[in-house]
Amino acid sequence: MITSELPVLQDSGESGQDTVSLSMSMSELDDSGDGKGRKKRGRPGKPPAPNKKPRKSPSEKGSAGAPRGRKANGMAQQYREGDPVTLFEVVKQGKSAMQSVVDDWIESYKQDRDIALLDLINFFIQCSGCKGTVRIEMFRNMQNAEIIRKMTEEFDEDSGDYPLTISGPLWKKFRYNFCEFISVLIRQCQYSIIYDEYMMDTVISLLTGLSDSQVRAFRHTSTLAAMKLMTALVNVALNLSIHQDNTQRQYEAERNKMVGKRANEKLELLLQKRKELQENQDEIENMMNSIFKGIFVHRYRDAIAEIRAICIEEIGVWMKMYSDAFLNDSYLKYVGWTLHDRQGEVRLKCLKALQNLYTNRELFPKLELFTNRFKDRIVSMTLDKEYDVAVEAIRLVTLILQGSEDALSNEDCENVYHLVYSAHRPVAVAAGEFLHRKLFSRHDPQAEEALAKRRGRSSPNGNLIRMLVLFFLESELHEHAAYLVDSLWESSHELLKDWECMTELLLEEPVQGEEVLSDRQEGALIELTVCTIRQAAEAHPPVGRGTGKRVLTAKERKTQIDDKNKLTEHFIMALPMLLSKYQTDSEKVANLLQIPQFFDLDVYSAGRMEKHLDALLKQIKFVVEKHTDTEVLEACSKTYSILCSEEYTIMNRVDIARSQLIDELADRFNHSVEELLQAGEEADDDDIYNVLSTLKRLTAFHNAHDLTRWDFFGNCYRLLRTGIEQGSMPEQIAVQALQCSHYSILWQLVKITEGSPSKDDLLALRRVVKSFLAVCQQCLSNVNTPVKEQAFMLLCDLLMIFSHQLTTGAREGLQPLVFNPDSTLQNELLNFVLDHAFIDQDDENQSIGDEEDEANKIEALHKRRNLLAAFSKLIIYDIVDMPAAADIFKHYMKYYNDYGDIIKETLSKTRQTDKILCAKTLILSLQQLFNELIQDQGPTLDRTSSHVSGIKELARRFALTFGLDQIKTREAVATLHKDGIEFAFKYQNPKGPEYPPPNLAFLEVLCEFSSKLLRQDKKTVHSYLEKFMTEQMMERREDIWLPLISYRNSLLTGGDEDRMSINSGSSSSKAGSVRSKKGRPPMHKRRIEEESVEGSWMMRNDTLQTPGALQTPQLTSTVLRENPRQAAEHMPDQDSEPGSESDFVHNPQMQMSWLGQQKMEELNRKERTAMNYMKARSGGVRQTVRGLMEDDAEPIFEDVMMSSRGQLEDMSEEFEDTMVIDLPPSRNRRERAELRPDFFDSAAMIEDESGFTMPMF
């Protein structure tokens, strides 16, 4: 509500002294003057000019009574009856040209300015989204503050939206039309109406009052209108200033004439015109001063970011449009202060406003003081958290650099330089533009071209490319050359595509005046050259920058084709020479060999350049013979693979060269292997080197080429068998032999799957795979770690490839190739992972070395993660039995930072495969940790120790992964509790029955899963727990029995049907959970439940006291009644633990339907149960609730409805105060099921408390 009067207009020269209220009373209107011609508005505080005619008051104009109808905007309008076609609707529809709309309004204003102004006032009110209408009586008899207060009361508070905030093309167009209407209105009224001391006073007064309103819609709309009004007035003032200057020049020219030629009448007219223009200028300045001081100064720091952004955007327009009046520190300071705004959109408007100013070089002197004051802030905004703001800040810094290179220090420039390596491409491209302007732009192109010609160079870019190399080396980010090239691609593409100049610098000797490139600089230049070639050929950003490959436009596609042809034609001739010069440098050669993959290989045959192809193949062969580095050999292999593509005519020529090379390597390898095996333990280093070097080359080529016709598997297998039998094979030879054998097997499998293999072919491959798997299994016990790791990875890969999925997709004929690992191999793989992945940091440092740097640590962690991921895949795809994952899951908390994501994904995928078996695996992992703790600390555990707390925290994390849909996980959770109870009571205390079982403390861990049980399942589990309890156990209350008491209370908490939760579990239930109000049942429903519960317990004659033995009911599912004999058959055997690990492994489906397997029958009963429930409610009398353990165990609908509140309790326990979710109590079970996502999807898996989200609510 408006609580104060509207601000008053103040004269810019006499602020605070001469003021006049813009909310004029009727008496003030009566004393005003009116004229038929152009009206002038006197200065505030001054009496009206004596030559002005008196102005009719609104009462005189409207003396006829009710306002008459008029034709405005081409349509009849009324204000009391009928549906009005208002100015707001006309502007909203935007069907009429704004010029004609304004002309119609002006015509209406000339006929009756009160009615026209009333239309304009209602226009602003309705544009704010207000449903109220200002009537003529209100306009004449009420102050503006009272009108605004009245409109505030009539504002629709049901929705927070109003025209300026509503999304959609219609309202976006309305905003544009709204601003255009104000601009055209002032433009059309600039010669007469705005000076009549009435229209502008009324509008400015109204907008000032609305901008001070507490209603956001009024404040936002009026501020936008006022700022656009101010912009229009600035344009009028600028035109007046131009007219004044022209009039003054005419006056001075006429006055300087000789007396005889001087026209005195013209001088008097010019003087009169100049005076009139000056008066108008004063009037406009008064209006602008009123808007600026009354609205802008208050609203540029408004609480709403959109309002602040409007103010900053418009003041930037004023400073650019009328720089003589506004471009000074008095106005610039507002933009400078707002650079620190909290909202990114406001900071963005500031930067864009400044960009418009710094674009004009003539304005730089006026911006010098501002630049010095706020330069540091602008430079720091290049690191803004909002990427859009950072991009505009970099562009602004670039404009400052263009205007004055001295304005930025070297430190300022360095802050922008490193942003070329940013992962966000717009930021990097903007930084590349800055870098180009600062370092890579030629200041005098003609002089540099002349200097290049004198030196014999074909390109003048030599010095710039050298500078680019130096910048790349000094940035010390040598693995990010592709990012640097991509950043500069748009601004410096001509420089980066000057491959002739790059090749000259690499191949030719430096001429006089040029420095010699160092070895490091040559390597950097080659790396940058390869990156520019890739960028030109692929025409998309490097990996990690950008959202993916976008569709190229026709122009971009043509540019890509031209660039590819250009680089191919150049490097077809230059690449052999480059390889010849740098063939001994492995790093440079590896980079150069990447170039052919970007060639257009048709150029070889189309341009008759086969001789250059032969030269390239010759150089590649030399490289293969000289190098044994894996990176270089793989680059050679890949180059051969690309050149051998079948779609090119050069394939035959390349295939011949490749076959000759492999023949030579095969002969050398076979010969060296024979010599090595014959020498045995007496083999010297030369024999080992000959085998190893040749084997490395063959392995690299076998990766990308089918070399099975040379049969390298036989000799590799011989080497491996010899190494196993004698134990003297060098580890590098063993690693390479394993890898080469692996490739050979895969190529044989490719041949079989692509063709029609015979049974003999399948059996032959099976023998090969079986023998190789046996060798890999034996290598797991090798003393050399690289050999063991290589064998492990190959075992996991081959077991995945030759698993049951090999026969899918109509490939049943490959069944003989399927291998299933036996228990011995599974245990060896598991032990290997536990020994090599889950190691302490101290052990790792000790094994690798104390001087290991951070890069080596990361590499070692990456290798361990690969080992764990390889084994986890075997578990996920049911190649290794799921219980083996228990040893992985138990390390979830301890190694969360290293492997948390892998273990979590494994848990998610295994749950999708088999929920019950996954739950049994989880409880098994907790049992293993508990047994380890018992062995370390003895049977008497310290329940407050960190080890016990760690197990409980792990159980809590496991419980979170079950999600909120208890219907889906009810059997899995119940099975988990069953196994946990059996484990807790597995052994009797040797001291006697009065002492707790040794594993009883495990129940405290099991408490973490109680919240995941449905209400009726809690009672079932509680009944199962009582089967293991004696009467003495129920009566014990010592601290040593607290795990049992806590677990019982967790099962009884929230159970209205069980009075024992009131007596024995009151303390724990109070601290257990906080139930939301919406989740509570109505009072009458709870009373009915209590009465029925009392009847149920009375019929069963059970005691209600805590220390007492309840009658053990028959174990029955809460969904389906189970045959008593079947239930008896499921009773555990006391001699051997039913949930033991041995039974678990051999019988993974054991007890899977403990809570009922016939879910289809449950679905068929849902409708019948709901109908029975509704009949019971409509009758007003509810039958006694049948006990869960009675013969007719049909589920109670009320319990199902209450399960949602149980979910809320679980959420409160798990996430404490991080979220409050209220489910409407009226929703039925089907509606809730539709709201729940699948929390067992890996993409929707529940995070920890810090990252948990609930998108469906």
Cα(1131)–Cα(1027) distance, integer angstroms? 10
Would you put residue 2 in left (φ > 0), alpha (ψ -120 to 50) or beta? beta
Cα(833)–Cα(867) distance, integer angstroms? 7
- The pLDDT value recorded for residue 302 is 94
The dihedral built from the CA positions of residue 322, 326, 329 and 331, taken in this order, carries a sign that is negative
Mark 1037-1056 as b/e (b = at least 16 C-beta within 10 Å). Answer: eeeebbbbbbbbbbbbbbbb
The values of phi and psi at residue 791, to 5°, are -65, -40
pLDDT band for position 1205 (cuts 50, 70, 90): very low
For residue range 718-760, what is the model confidence (pLDDT) as tens digits? 999 998 888 778 999 999 999 999 999 999 999 998 888 888 9
According to the 3-state scheme, what is the secondary structure of 745-758? HHHHHHHHHHCCCC
Cα 639 to the center of its chain, rounded Å: 37
- The pLDDT value recorded for residue 96 is 79
Return the bridge partners of 75, or none.
72
Find the angle CA(1036)-CA(1040)-CA(1046) to the nearest 5 degrees: 75
In the predicted model, what is the mean pLDDT of residues 991-1016? 88
How much of the chain is in helix, strand and coil states, percent to nearest 5? 65, 0, 30
Least confident segment among 256-270, 474-488, 1123-1137, 1157-1171: 1123-1137
Least confident segment among 300-309, 718-727, 1225-1234: 1225-1234
- The pLDDT value recorded for residue 478 is 67
Return the bridge partners of 77, or none.
70
Calculate what percentage of the chain has a pLDDT beyond 70: 74
CB 617 within 8 A of CB 573: no
Least confident segment among 449-458, 658-667, 1175-1184: 1175-1184
- The pLDDT value recorded for residue 328 is 92
- The pLDDT value recorded for residue 768 is 95
- The pLDDT value recorded for residue 773 is 95
Residue with tokens 């069980």: 1058
Residues 6+ apart with CB under 8 A from 442: 448, 460, 464
Give yes or no for residue 1256 having a pLDDT over 70. Answer: no
Find the angle CA(806)-CA(809)-CA(811) to the nearest 5 degrees: 60
Give yes or no for residue 1118 having a pLDDT over 80. Answer: no
Return the bridge partners of 54, or none.
33
Highest mean pLDDT, choosing among 172-176, 844-848, 1224-1228: 172-176
Return the bridge partners of 33, or none.
54
- The pLDDT value recorded for residue 241 is 93
For residue range 1235-1252, what is the model confidence (pLDDT) as tens digits? 333 333 333 333 333 333
CB 537 within 8 A of CB 567: yes
For residue range 562-587, what is the model confidence (pLDDT) as tens digits? 999 999 999 999 999 999 999 999 99
Give yes or no for residue 1186 having a pLDDT over 50. Answer: no
pLDDT band for position 1109 (cuts 50, 70, 90): very low
For residue range 851-863, what is the model confidence (pLDDT) as tens digits? 457 888 889 999 9
- The pLDDT value recorded for residue 446 is 66
Cα(962)–Cα(965) distance, integer angstroms? 8
Least confident segment among 344-358, 969-983, 1068-1082: 1068-1082
- Please state, in angstroms and as integers, the Cα–Cα distance from residue 323 to each residue in 18, 235, 367, 928, following that order: 28, 11, 11, 79
Cα(529)–Cα(545) distance, integer angstroms? 19
Give yes or no for residue 769 having a pLDDT over 50. Answer: yes
- The pLDDT value recorded for residue 326 is 94
Mark 628-642 as b/e (b = at least 16 C-beta within 10 Å). Answer: beeebbbbbbbbbbb
N-to-C CA span, the chain: 36
- The pLDDT value recorded for residue 444 is 63
Give yes or no for residue 236 having a pLDDT over 60. Answer: yes
Give yes or no for residue 1152 having a pLDDT over 50. Answer: no
- The pLDDT value recorded for residue 144 is 82
- The pLDDT value recorded for residue 1055 is 47
- Tokens linked to 513: 């005046």
Range list of β-strands (E), 281-337:
none
Give yes or no for residue 695 having a pLDDT over 80. Answer: yes
Cα(502)–Cα(1219) distance, integer angstroms? 61
For residue range 189-218, what is the model confidence (pLDDT) as tens digits? 988 899 988 999 999 999 999 999 999 999
CB 575 within 8 A of CB 596: yes
Give yes or no for residue 66 having a pLDDT over 60. Answer: no
Higher pLDDT, 1098 or 112: 112
Least confident segment among 71-80, 351-360, 625-634, 1222-1231: 1222-1231
- Please state, in angstroms and as integers, the Cα–Cα distance from residue 587 to each residue in 467, 500, 519, 625, 919, following that order: 22, 22, 11, 16, 52
In the predicted model, what is the mean pLDDT of residues 37-49? 36
Least confident segment among 43-47, 599-603, 777-781, 827-831: 43-47
Cα(740)–Cα(719) distance, integer angstroms? 12
- The pLDDT value recorded for residue 813 is 87
C-alpha atoms less than 13 angstroms from C-alpha of 954 in its C-beta half-sphere: 28
Mean pLDDT of the chain: 77
Cα(860)–Cα(879) distance, integer angstroms? 27
Give yes or no for residue 956 having a pLDDT over 90. Answer: yes
- The pLDDT value recorded for residue 1160 is 44
In the predicted model, what is the mean pLDDT of residues 976-980? 94
pTM: 0.72
- Tokens linked to 919: 């739950």
Would you put residue 166 in left (φ > 0), alpha (ψ -120 to 50) or beta? beta
Give yes or no for residue 73 having a pLDDT over 50. Answer: no
CB 637 within 8 A of CB 740: no
- The pLDDT value recorded for residue 529 is 96
Higher pLDDT, 941 or 101: 101
- The pLDDT value recorded for residue 54 is 36
- The pLDDT value recorded for residue 218 is 92
In the predicted model, what is the mean pLDDT of residues 221-245? 94
Residues 6+ apart with CB under 8 A from 1039: none
In the predicted model, what is the mean pLDDT of residues 482-492? 94
Calculate what percentage of the chain has a pLDDT beyond 90: 51
Least confident segment among 171-175, 362-366, 483-487, 1127-1131: 1127-1131
For residue range 517-553, what is the model confidence (pLDDT) as tens digits? 899 999 999 999 999 999 999 989 998 887 667 788 9
The dihedral built from the CA positions of residue 1115, 1118, 1124 and 1128, taken in this order, carries a sign that is negative
In the predicted model, what is the mean pLDDT of residues 641-646? 90
- Please state, in angstroms and as integers, the Cα–Cα distance from residue 786 to each residue in 488, 543, 661, 673, 826, following that order: 42, 30, 29, 21, 20
pLDDT band for position 156 (cuts 50, 70, 90): low
Cα(219)–Cα(208) distance, integer angstroms? 9
- The pLDDT value recorded for residue 454 is 60
Least confident segment among 50-59, 154-163, 266-275, 369-378: 50-59
- The pLDDT value recorded for residue 825 is 94
DSSP 3-state assignment of 1105? coil
- The pLDDT value recorded for residue 1151 is 39
Cα(233)–Cα(408) distance, integer angstroms? 36
Would you put residue 248 in left (φ > 0), alpha (ψ -120 to 50) or beta? alpha
Range list of β-strands (E), 834-888:
none
Cα(130)–Cα(113) distance, integer angstroms? 23
